[in-house]
Amino acid sequence: MASYNVTIKNFAFSPSQIEIKQGDKVIWTSEDTVAHTVTADGGEFDSGDMVKGDPPFEHTFGTTGEIPYHCDHHGGMRGKVTVKT
């Protein structure tokens, strides 16, 4: 199982799209001083508010498919995790 990092900075997820394998983990870390969330469009996960200095949010992906996500506070912040077998 592998881990992948996504940084939240300047009101963006970087990288905004990531491809992983089933069972891998994605770790989101905020570098912004304003609150953001990492919220799956389909409800699979939700980080709650995160700001710089908060612990990272981690999610392990057990099922395959495309999981789009967003920030609840900033509608233009979007990302996608594609999980392959």
Give the residue extent of every domain in the chain.
Answer: 3-84
What is the pairing mode between strands 17-21 and 78-84?
parallel
- How many other C-beta atoms can be found within 10 angstroms of the C-beta atom of residue 77? 19
Please state which CATH number belongs to domain 3-84: 2.60.40.420
| pLDDT score for 80 | 98
What DSSP string describes 30-63? E--SS-B--EETTSS-B---B-TTSPPEEEE--S
Dihedral of CA 22/25/30/35: which sign? positive
- On average, the pLDDT of the chain sits at 98
Cis link prior to 56 (omega < 30° from 0)?
no
pLDDT tens for each residue of 34-72: 999 999 999 999 999 999 999 999 999 999 999 999 999
